[in-house]
Chains A and B, each alone.
Chain A
Amino acid sequence: MMHHHGAAAPDRTGDLPVVALVGRPNVGKSTFLARGSGRFAETANAPGTTVFLERRRVCADGREALLVDLPGTRSLLDRPAGSGPFWQHLETARPDALLVLVDAGDLARHLPLALACRDLGLPIVVAANLSDEAARHGIELDTGRLSQLLLAPVHVTNGRSGEGVQAALADAIRLATRRRDVRLGLSAPSSTLPAPIYPPSLEARVGAEAAELSARVPGLRSVGAAVLDATGFGRLIEAGVANPRGAATIVLGTELDAARADLAGSWSRQVERLRAVRPPLRDRLERLATEPVPGIPAFVAVTLATFGLMVVVGGWLAAILGNAWAAAVSPALTAVVTAIIPIPSLASSILWAVDGGLLALISVGIPYILTFYVLLAALEDSGYLTSAAVLLDRVFNALGLPGRAAVPLLAAAGCNVPALYGTRILRTRRERILASFLITLTPCSARSAVVIAALVPLAGPGVALAAFVVTAAVAIAAGVGANKLVPGRQPSLVLEMARLRVPVAGHVAQKAWARFRGFVLTAAPIMLIGSFVVGLAWETGAWAPISTALGPLTEGWLGLPPIAGVAFAFGFLRKELALQLLIALAVVEYGLGAGDLGTFMTAGQVFVFAIVTSISIPCAATLAALIAELGRRPALTITLGSLALALAAGGVIARIVGIA
């Protein structure tokens, strides 16, 4: 899978030394990387959001290197982000040195990973990160002593403020450069064999295993790929990521872990200087956050506040931007396009794309999606989401998902596309499929906008709320059903709780912006092309046959005017335009008086229309993301599934409200 993301060997251009960042989830690697490289990496205060292999060119002390962010892992054999074991990521990254981030406030928990990295035989630099939080708990480190014990440089760092980051990075680059020079034959190797630290019996086992591995490796070269895959450790040695002893320590990882934990415990006691401090208030908050009371009321409040802010701020921004567009940009664009393009219908179609399409991007994307990303980023960085995940775990269990699925599902309310990428934090493919299905059923801000805009003026906010309740009920029922249908079982939750932190405004803004940029880059072309196609169908009158073809479904089953079918079909391309399209079509079909929904549809019909729109088919961008993330078949199954569900729910409701 890694190869899809361009992280494979070929980009070792110029043979730059490679430094890989290793650390347990949530130790602040991405923030550290952002500080170290001066750019933003996908970070979140929720374990496991780093899912791509990020590579950055960095420079320190005049040396250049590639810095690779690896997914957070708890051991070399751990399987982060539902991928292969962590050592395979190392093999992909081919580092020359490891920069191991540990929590300065909890060495006993974090040092075993550093020891495992040290065992590989690669040079390591240890960054005792989160030093601000450690200090808050009265913990100070004797880094000199820790360096002696680890036989590796140790730096106290704070990714949030940048303290120590450059120094740690420079050290790692220095070691990586030296090793790269050895690798390229530019300088002679110096012995890097670490002194034995484990009990003699374990060291003997490691030695024996190493001997066996090194005996096997030369043979493997000629045996072929099949054997290599079966014994990936040999490959690891060949890649130069580990020496035979290092590979042996991976093979014996589970046995060594107990010894590592013991060492970590005794070393941490030796290097920690504890000071009496009043336990920080956030310790208490962390405890309260997962208690039923006040945890649940707090969760409800946070959720309501999030959506309240999104609606208020989003609506306000949408109005401003929409008006500004209509007043300034739209007339200019129209004038320019009609002047350049001589064929009126083509000009209009292009205007659909550049005027309507960009307007949609600006009046929906920026106000709602960007606002949501800012809020989500703040929530993620606050560390609150793991508390929410724990509170909601049982609820999500019923849907076949762990509590952490709350993160992408919440994101889905902003836009389905990033939410689908967010499902990478789930551990199994089954969880990802189930979550993706639920995401496509979750009304994104564009669909919510349709529901609100259609129902609130006509039937009042209560009915709009009812539509959301119905949608949620359908989604939950579908999720429960899908959990039963999709084979397998979701594993039980074991998750380290994130610490509560005050989000750093700069990071939140950077993160929200980076994600928004990604969203725009994915969605904008599809939106523009989609708008163009819609425009073309509109201008050429091609929509009429579609309307007729969909007639039985729209009229017969859903009890809606036939033109609603066209609105649905085009909604696939431009979800947020479904409503405008409907009104525009109605004007064409029924005459000018139909500028208002109420003149050609009853409240019941609008309700059904809103429900079907909010559940129905994912938009084109979502479909593209589904295919990219899960493959064609699941993507198609999910799409057809949600379409069937939308039509079924719409038909049933149509019968209940008596319009069909």
Chain B
Amino acid sequence: MTVLVVGGGITGLMSAYALGKAGIPTLLVEGSRRLGGKIRTEKVDGFVIEHGPDSFVSYRPAGLALIRELGLGDAVVRPQEPRIVFIRAGGRFRRFPDGMGLVLPTKLRPFLTSDLFSPLAKARMGLDLLLPRDGSDGDVAVGPFLRRRLGSALVDRLAGPLIGGVYGTPIDELSLDAVVPQLRESERRHRSLLLAALAEARARKEAAADGRHDGPSPSPFVTLAGGTQQLVDALAEALHGMPHVGIRTQCLLEDLEFDGSRVRVRFCGGERLAPEATILATPARVTADLLERGAPDAAGQIRSIPHGATAVVNLAYGDDQLPDDLAGHGFLVADDEPLTISAATFSSRKWAGRAPEGTLLVRAFIGDRRTGAHDLDDPGLVAAAHRDVAGTVGIRGEPLLTRVARYPAAMPHYTVGHLERVAAAEAALAPYPALRIAGGAYRGVGLPDCIAQGRAAADSIALLLSGGAPAEAPAGAADAAAPTAAVGAGSTSLDALPIGAGARVVSVAADHAAELALEGVVPGTIVAVASRAPLGGPLVVGVGRARVAVARSVASTVAVEPAPEPAAAAGR
């Protein structure tokens, strides 16, 4: 019995790791020579150069949870203080207002005094306090939604660079439901987004007063001391330590063969494998090609997810080349600026230990907005990045070191209707119960999102193999459906769990904790309700390979959260 994980990026690594930890024999195959996919950290001459993502958000728990699980908790680093970021808009650098959330201010005063927006633009934003709710229901683009409530200035100068930059997609095409569903929820609840943001900030402040936080709110961004690659290395090491997990690199899949509900694999070179289950953690385009024959509908849906090109240019300068007044962690570029780069991070200022003493490491990001940029050759791209950074900041001379990493057609664009497309793709995979797709193209592009998806796919496969759950429904985890949605969106009690649904035990009431522990039900255990006896009788609960009958009165004291697992998406 082997589970095949295709794709050695962070998603696939995570899946293999979770399966391996569950004791399930797993084979991870990766087409290229190295593991990690788009995560790549190069260490040269004292520089720690990130070719892919350089950090991730801490408020999505999957990332930090994995890091702690791997024992890397001590390696987590946060940006150095003070955290000052600029926005290049109107030909000038403007200070990013203090206390800004993703789009909206959490503090009123810095926002009102910011020179990022004209008084007229600020007045337009004030209209948000008065405007009625938008009654519409279906998915819309983030840009128009924000423009209607807050005006164009905010979108062009702040939301666009920020959200559009993160997702590498023009904000007027980005799906609201897929990217910032909390905005829709805020409007529904508070009507005014500003009021909602301020209320949320107040709530957080009160929580801080309760001693849950201290000091200024920490940056949402974190990374590892050794670069994001450290996570990949730790995962790979953990996998090498698992005798039942195999890893093959430079191993390409030629095709998937579909036979009934089973999926077999043919590798380049002709070798065949009939895995018990398969997780495709490949780029969407590859996934679509693999699925073309067995699930053309799924392939079509996946192919319809547009992808854009991005590039990262790392530049190093000596301190003697810098202007005296260089400050901050970098800058974002407003949409209407005539620059090629869409953001620049002064990596060595933002993170400690990224460059040798007396040097500055700059990481310039080139998104998809700048038409033509990606037609440039590498030296051209470097020249453009250097020109943009040096020209705006006032750096003299040529860079000491340059690196280019290009990602053609790699950045999935979460355009309007994205989640429906993903759901449709997953539904079209229903005939193959032991086949999962996971990765940045589906339910979140960030590192924690990929990790969460990788884990969810593995957990659902583990549950499937343990016979704990019906195999009909495709992957579509309830909590992954809204990548940024609430974390503990509410645990439920074991007796309220639908039959076949898997769940993770969160807590057990003290009365029955000892008794349940003897049967292996402790916090963290994955359980699934197999059946319910009549007349309000006991539940039969799958715990590992055993089945345990639990009276409903006892089950009601066991708090569970839906484990990312097929049938959990019963809401659909």
Q: Which residues of A contact B (CB under 8 A)?
A: 74-75, 78, 105-106, 108-109, 137-138, 254, 257-258, 261, 265, 268-270, 272, 274-277, 279, 283, 286-287, 290-292, 295-296, 386, 389-395, 403, 491-497
Contacts and interface: CB of A to CB of B under 8 A. Distances in A.
Interface of B: 1-2, 20-25, 242-244, 274, 276, 467, 512, 514-520, 522, 530-538, 540, 543-551, 553-554
B537 A106 contact: no
B538 A493 contact: yes
B545 A274 contact: no
B490 to A, nearest CB: 25
B1 A390 contact: no
B548 A496 contact: yes
Contacts of A78: 518
Contacts of B540: 287, 290, 390, 497
A584 to B, nearest CB: 47
A138 B25 CA distance: 12
A491 B22 CA distance: 33
A596 B512 CA distance: 60
A604 to B, nearest CB: 36
Contacts of A295: 531, 533-534
Contacts of B532: 291-292
The main secondary structure of chain B at its interface with chain A is: loop
A97 B515 CA distance: 28
B533 A390 contact: yes
A354 to B, nearest CB: 49
A291 B531 contact: yes
Contact of B530 (A257, A287, A403): A287
Nearest to A279: B467
11 contacts: A75-B518, A269-B21, A291-B532, A295-B533, A386-B549, A389-B549, A390-B533, A492-B551, A493-B554, A496-B549, A497-B540
Contact of A283 (B467, B515, B520): B467
Given A494-B549, A497-B546, A269 B530 contact: no
Contacts of A495: 538, 548-549
Nearest to A284: B467
B276 A403 contact: no
Q: Please give me the 9 A-B residue pairs with the lowest Cβ-Cβ distance, nearest first.
A: A269-B23, A492-B551, A276-B1, A394-B535, A74-B518, A497-B547, A493-B551, A292-B534, A394-B537
Contacts of B516: 494
B537 A391 contact: yes
A492 B549 contact: no
Given A138-B1, A497-B540, A74 B549 contact: no
Nearest to B274: A276
B518 A393 contact: no
Given A275-B1, A283-B467, A106 B534 contact: no
A394 B519 contact: no
A289 to B, nearest CB: 9
A386 B21 CA distance: 32
A394 B533 contact: yes
A390 B21 CA distance: 32
Given A269-B21, A269-B244, 20 more contacts: A74-B518, A108-B520, A257-B517, A258-B522, A269-B23, A274-B25, A279-B467, A290-B530, A290-B533, A291-B531, A292-B532, A390-B538, A390-B540, A391-B533, A393-B537, A494-B548, A494-B549, A495-B549, A496-B548, A496-B549
Contact of A394 (B2, B536, B548): B536
A270 B540 CA distance: 29
Given A274-B1, A290-B530, A109 B520 contact: yes
A301 to B, nearest CB: 16
Contacts of B467: 279, 283
A108 to B, nearest CB: 6
A492 B554 contact: yes
Contacts of A493: 538, 549-551, 554
A276 B2 contact: yes
Nearest to B277: A276
B544 A109 contact: yes
